[in-house]
C-alpha cells in the first residue's frame, strides 16, 4: 500500500460521520455491550468467590 493512499484514507475520515451514522444502532450496541460485560463479569466474580 502506498503511503499516499494511507494518507488519503485518514484524510477521508470524518468524525461527524463516524458518530452520527447509524447513531441509534451504535447507542443500542453500546448499551448491550456494557450490560453484557457487567453480567459476565458478575458471573465470573461470583464463580471465583464460590
Partner 1 sequence: MIEMLNVINWKAIVEILILWFVIYKIFLFLKGTKAVYLLRGIVILVIAFFFFQKTDLYVLSWLLTKFFAFFLILIVIIFQPELREGLIRLGKRHIFYIEPKQEEIEKIIREIVGATSIMSKKRIGALIAIKREIGLKNYIESGVILNADITSELLQNIFFPGAPLHDGGVIIDGVKIVSAGCLFPLTDNPDLERALGMRHRAAVGLSEASDAVVIVVSEERGTISLAINGQLTRNLSPSDLQTILKGQLRSKS
Q: Which of residues 1-50 bind partner 1 (CB under 8 A)?
A: 1, 5-6, 8-9, 11-12, 14, 22, 25-26, 28-30, 32-34, 36-38, 41, 45
Rg of the chain's alpha carbons, rounded to an integer?
Answer: 19
CA 17, CA 35: separation in Å to the nearest integer? 26
Grid coordinates standing for 14? Answer: 470524518
14 or 20: whose CB is closer to partner 1? 14
CA 34, CA 4: separation in Å to the nearest integer? 38
Chain contacts with partner 1 (rule: CB under 8 A): 1, 5-6, 8-9, 11-12, 14, 22, 25-26, 28-30, 32-34, 36-38, 41, 45
Amino acid at each position: 500500500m502506498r503511503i499516499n493512499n494511507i494518507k488519503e484514507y485518514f484524510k477521508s475520515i470524518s468524525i461527524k460521520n463516524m458518530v452520527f451514522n447509524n447513531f441509534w444502532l451504535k447507542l443500542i450496541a453500546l448499551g448491550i455491550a456494557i450490560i453484557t460485560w457487567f453480567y459476565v463479569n458478575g458471573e465470573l466474580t461470583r464463580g471465583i468467590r464460590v
